Amino acid sequence: MKVMKQNNGTNVKEQYWKYSLITIILVLGVILFVEFTPFLGGILGACTIYILVRRQMLYLTEKKHWRRSLVAVVLLLEAILCFLIPLSLAVWLFVNKLQDVNLDPTQLVRSAEHIAGLVKERIGYDVLDISNIQSAVSVLPKIGQTLMGGISGFAVNVVVLVLILYFMLIGGSKMETYVYSILPFSDENKNSVLKEINMIVTSNAIGIPLLAVIQGVIALIGYWIFGVPSPLLFGFLTCFATIIPVVGTALIWLPLALYMTLTGDWVNAAGLTAYALIVITNVDNLVRFVLQKKMADTHPLITIFGVIVGLSLFGFMGIIFGPLLISIFILCFNIFKEKYLDNAREPLPLRE
């Protein structure tokens, strides 16, 4: 009887320790996640590049027997040259181009009033009035502050990305072994989950920037042909618009076509609209189809809702990790269904 009481007391203590430890882990995990949120782009970026260069790392360390520290430096330099420098250059060009845009409030008010007058003249409806225009212009300083804050955050996240990526490359095998050991799946399901992660991250990390560049170049050609003002700037904006689901590049070329229509440039406006509907849209569909066949054949709805969810959760890196989040959710649900729900169903007794 005494032994049974001791066992019960021991079990209670073990349960207390177990759930207390779980509580501490959850609380500290939430705190750390909240504090690391400003650096989430750099962390996810490091994970993305690690997945992309993982095969090279294994080849150089296991086949060529290079020192891991040397491999980490080489792959880090490759990531900087192939990913970070082009991205930083693109951001710098965008900012440099924005500096040429006239942001004088008085001039902007006059331009807005001119456009409002054109709208009223063409369709007979006063879409804007002076008070609304002035209210809209007053938001410009906030937009500028947000833009500068985004650029500062980008610079900080680049530094975070480089630091984390270096240590991930140094301790790659140990890190992978640890992650593999704590996944709550069987070995077969672990392999399925890791394969899904690798496939989607690789597909999105290569396919989405490639699609953006192709779309931007095709749009830039159209903007130049049909006399769009600042075609380089709007071509650059079109690159980023491709990541937005459903509407995509129409966010850029449609307002441009409307503006050209209002200013009386009917021919170029009609030409730009036809070019966008026939060329830009079909190129987008064609490239997406080819990339899906060559890489991950992800359902379009997963991509659309994944990007919507991912952008709100992870920022720019959400275009990669949003679809991954939905795909992993579906995969985990299917694993649960096959392991617990399907096996729990007992056959109905046969009627005599």
Note down the domain range covering 48: 34-103+142-173
Domains in the chain, number: 2
Among residues 173, 191, 222, the one where a domain terminates is: 173
Among residues 173, 191, 216, the one where a domain terminates is: 173
| Residues 46 and 168 placed together within one structural domain of the fold | yes
CA atoms within 13 A on the CB side of 84: 23
Q: Residues near 68 by Cβ (< 8 Å), separated by ≥ 6?
A: 61, 169, 170, 172
| Residues 309 and 162 placed together within one structural domain of the fold | no
- 192: left (phi > 0), else alpha (psi -120 to 50), else beta? alpha
| Residues 150 and 217 placed together within one structural domain of the fold | no
| Residues 189 and 75 placed together within one structural domain of the fold | no
Query: 268 near 260, Cβ under 8 Å?
Result: yes
Whether 27 is in a domain gets the answer: no
pTM of the model: 0.69
User: pLDDT tens per residue, the chain (352 residues)?
Assistant: 555 555 666 677 788 888 888 899 999 989 988 888 888 878 888 888 888 888 888 888 888 888 888 888 888 888 888 877 777 776 666 666 655 554 445 555 555 556 666 656 655 555 455 555 555 555 555 555 555 555 667 778 788 888 888 888 888 778 888 888 887 777 777 787 788 778 777 777 777 778 888 888 888 898 898 888 878 888 888 887 877 766 778 888 888 888 787 777 788 888 888 988 888 878 777 776 666 666 656 666 777 777 777 777 776 667 777 777 887 788 778 877 777 777 655 554 544 4
| Residues 277 and 323 placed together within one structural domain of the fold | yes
| Residues 186 and 272 placed together within one structural domain of the fold | yes
Whether 108 is in a domain gets the answer: no
